[in-house]
Amino acid sequence: MTTGLIYLIKSEMDARGWNQTKLSEISGIPDSTISKILKNPNQIPKLENLATLAQAFDIPLARIIAACGFDVSSAKSEDSQRLQTIVSAIPDFQRLVEEMMTFSPLDQADVLAYIEMRRLHRQKNINQEVDQS
């Protein structure tokens, strides 16, 4: 149930004096999509739209995800920020992140650790190539 999300969106709009059209203009999410989100409490919106709403309201993505009914209290805030950065920077990872939303916080941390390990490994290889030049 995303009644928490609906409440959050309406509260954030009210706090800013925005209507649905203004939210659409600021977020870039079509008005029809926002309308569907607000009228369908049994459907969880796409992660891309959740991230866009978080940016429009200038609130953490974890708060939006929690409003959808997911337990994010045990996830490290640093991990949540990294996850949001990855999704924002590389849209191709959206599907991966949507799958990760179904993982336990421990499994999410493991995936993030693996990604970080691969990044460090690539960086080490680049540094070795530079040293050999």
**How large is the C-alpha radius of gyration of the chain?**
18
Among the CATH numbers 1.10.10.350, 1.10.490.10, 1.20.1370.10, 1.10.260.40, which is that of 1-70? 1.10.260.40
| The two three-digit tokens of residue 12, written as one number | 């954030």
pLDDT, greater one: 70 or 133: 70
* Max CA distance (Å), the chain: 60
pLDDT category of residue 76 using cuts at 50, 70 and 90: low
What confidence score (pLDDT) does residue 123 get? Answer: 81
What are the extents of the domains in the chain? Answer: 1-70, 74-133
DSSP string, 61-104: HHHHHHHTT---TTS-HHHHHHHHHHHHH-GGGHHHHHHHTTS-
30: pLDDT strictly greater than 90: yes
| The two three-digit tokens of residue 27, written as one number | 């977020």
What confidence score (pLDDT) does residue 43 get? Answer: 84
pLDDT category of residue 75 using cuts at 50, 70 and 90: low
pTM beyond 0.85, yes or no: no
| The two three-digit tokens of residue 74, written as one number | 């045990």
Count the alpha carbons within 13 Å of 21 in the hemisphere toward its beta carbon.
Answer: 0
**Mean pLDDT score of the chain, rounded to an integer?**
82
CA dihedral 29, 76, 87, 125 (to 10 degrees): 170
Q: How far apart are CA 69 and CA 101, in angstroms?
A: 11
- b/e sequence 38-59, b meaning 16+ C-beta within 10 Å: beeeeebbebebbbbbbbbbee
**Mean pLDDT calculated for residue range 92-112:** 75
1: pLDDT strictly greater than 60: no
